[in-house]
């Protein structure tokens, strides 16, 4: 099943907060954007924020084969039974088109945050009991324990804000079969100062979160790399920026490290909920 999943999502997808918008005035724009992404050859869309099957449904309905996944659905805000019901309804209407991406979020964002690994195991137990198949769910796994859980009880991992080195580490733990689909921020800007400034602006909401910073420290970065918005070394490891050749080289580094698919998040200084459709077109052209 995982081989079929890899073929279904292809090598490239788009990660977006804007595509999960629940604003009724944006429904037409979102449907058009999803349809265009499918035409451009992207195999999947990954919905940022605490997304759900309800957020995925409009994109699936607007397309014919695009896979849509949550990235991520917080285990603290969605009970297993409710998540399973929503999964089942969407699966009945559009078989094989939805992937349930799950994660534990962050202590600073969840009041009831406690023993996240045990809570994730319990959540998976609940999904098992409610009939959500392991091969249709993915875990936003960063550390070794979570990666082993993604290997054993899901179809693979969708890690966020990681490096090629983390990808190689994740592949070693997952083994060959599970899907490994990291998110990668893409900044189509050739001026180094401007590109790194955009990266640091984006990083500002993540550097206060220990789940990410601990992961950076596990993979060779130091406390100094976390200061002042992130060192050049950290920024350059985490983001693909520059001209098409430089961006393609960073993307290739993730595949060489063991990624099966990349969830590409285009960052050009727009609001987080923007739909950078021209940038998505340009990126598709560069990847062709």
pLDDT for residue 202: 97
Share of the chain above pLDDT 90, in %: 95
Q: For tokens 């899901």, what's the residue?
A: 154
- Angstrom distance (rounded) from CA 175 to CA 124: 21
Q: How far apart are alpha carbons 166 and 159 in whole angstroms?
A: 9
CA atoms within 13 A on the CB side of 278: 3
Tell me the C-alpha distance between 171 and 166, whole Å. 9
In degrees, to the nearest 5, what angle opens at C-alpha 83 toward C-alphas 185 and 16? 20
Which numeric CATH code is attached to 1-192+241-286? Answer: 3.20.20.30
Q: Hey, is 69 helix, strand or coil?
A: strand
Helix (H) or strand (E) holding 74: strand 73-74
Residue 109 pLDDT class (50, 70, 90 cuts): confident
- 262 membership: H or E segment, kind and range: strand 262-266
Residue 106, pLDDT above cutoff 90: no
Average pLDDT over residues 39-59: 97
Report the distance separating Cα 252 and Cα 249, nearest Å: 5
Beta strand pairing call for 67-70 and 179-180: unpaired
Question: How do residues 18-35 score in pLDDT, each as one tens digit?
Answer: 999 999 999 999 999 999
Give the Cα separation of 145 and 152 in Å (integer).
Answer: 11
Are the CB atoms for 125 and 154 separated by under 8 Å?
A: no
Alpha-helix runs per DSSP H in 62-191: 80-93, 116-130, 144-153, 164-174
136 token code pair: 């249709």
* Angle at CA of residue 249, ends 11 and 169, nearest 5°: 65
Question: Judging by DSSP bridges, how do beta strands 262-266 and 12-16 pair with one another?
Answer: parallel
Tokens in use for 241? Answer: 């920026």
Residue 113: its pLDDT value, please? 81
């Amino acid at each position: 099943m995982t081989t079929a999943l890899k073929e279904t999502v292809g090598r490239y997808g788009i990660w977006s907060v804007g595509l999960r918008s629940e604003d009724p005035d944006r429904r037409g724009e979102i449907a058009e954007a999803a349809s265009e992404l499918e035409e451009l050859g992207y195999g999947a869309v990954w919905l940022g924020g605490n997304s759900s099957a309800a957020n995925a449904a409009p994109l699936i309905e607007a397309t014919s084969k695009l896979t849509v996944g949550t990235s991520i659905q917080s285990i603290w805000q969605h009970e297993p039974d409710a998540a399973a019901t929503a999964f089942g309804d969407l699966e009945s209407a559009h078989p094989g088109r939805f992937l349930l991406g799950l994660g534990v979020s962050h202590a600073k964002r969840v009041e009831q945050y406690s023993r996240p690994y045990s809570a994730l195991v319990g959540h998976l137990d609940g999904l098992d009991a409610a009939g959500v198949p392991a091969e249709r769910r993915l875990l936003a796994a960063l550390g070794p324990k979570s990666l082993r859980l993604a290997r054993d009880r899901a179809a693979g991992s969708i890690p966020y804000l990681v490096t090629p080195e983390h990808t190689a580490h994740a592949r070693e733990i997952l083994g060959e079969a599970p899907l490994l689909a990291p998110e990668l921020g893409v900044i189509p800007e050739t001026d180094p100062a401007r590109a790194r400034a955009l990266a640091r602006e984006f990083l500002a909401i993540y550097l206060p979160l220990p789940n990410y910073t601990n992961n950076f420290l596990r993979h060779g970065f130091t406390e100094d790399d976390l200061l002042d918005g992130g060192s050049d070394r950290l920024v350059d490891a985490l983001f693909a920026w520059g001209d098409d050749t430089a961006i393609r080289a960073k993307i290739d580094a993730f595949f060489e490290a063991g990624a099966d698919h990349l969830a590409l998040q285009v960052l050009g200084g727009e609001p987080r909920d923007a739909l950078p459709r021209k940038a998505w077109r340009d990126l598709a052209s560069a990847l062709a």
